[in-house]
């Protein structure tokens, strides 16, 4: 396991977590941290192999982020592969903690918005059943949190 490896986790891995991965990769480049491994996964298997949701794709593209993605489901053994396992909300955090092979792994699951000291909530809302503008709102939350996370990774 490397401290410089991050996996973002949401429910289906077609909205929030791939958006976070795309934003973080972009934030890492100017810091010279392109060696950090960044991935994403879902707690469920509904969208395995699917690309990012079309509305997420559009929101990312409007802001200049890459959108290459294929959904995958988080596997318990991956706790050993990633220095940071980051859930998009407390429901996903709870699901990940149930999957964790040890108490230490369970306690180490972080929430995305912990990395934004100005966040008003710790949950990134799921935009899947909402409007296209909800994906822009998610990006508005992810961008400062990813900047905070990139800064954190730069200090490791």
Residues classed as catalytic: 10, 16, 126
Q: Max Cα separation, the chain?
A: 41
**Residue 28: both structure tokens together:** 């890492």
Asked if residues 5 and 37 have their Cβ atoms less than 8 Å apart, the reply is yes
**Residue 37: both structure tokens together:** 């491994």
Pairing of strands 82-87, 37-42: unpaired
Asked if residues 8 and 21 have their Cβ atoms less than 8 Å apart, the reply is yes
Measured distance CA(36)–CA(6) in Å, rounded: 8
Phi, psi of 83 (to 5 degrees): -70, -30
């Amino acid at each position: 396991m490397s401290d410089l490896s991050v996996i973002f986790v949401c429910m289906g891995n077609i909205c929030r977590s791939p958006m976070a991965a795309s934003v973080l990769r972009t934030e890492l480049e100017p810091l010279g941290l392109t060696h950090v491994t960044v991935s994403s996964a879902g707690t469920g298997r509904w969208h395995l192999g699917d690309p990012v949701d079309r509305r997420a794709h559009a929101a990312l593209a409007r802001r200049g982020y890459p959108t290459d993605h294929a959904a995958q489901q988080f596997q318990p053994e991956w706790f050993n592969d990633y220095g940071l396992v980051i859930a998009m909300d407390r429901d996903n955090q709870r699901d990940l903690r149930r999957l964790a092979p040890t108490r230490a792994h369970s306690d180490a699951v972080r929430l995305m918005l912990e990395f934004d000291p100005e966040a008003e909530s710790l949950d990134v809302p799921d935009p899947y059943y909402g409007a296209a503008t909800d994906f822009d709102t998610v990006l508005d939350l992810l961008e400062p949190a990813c900047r905070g996370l990139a800064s954190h990774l730069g200090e490791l």
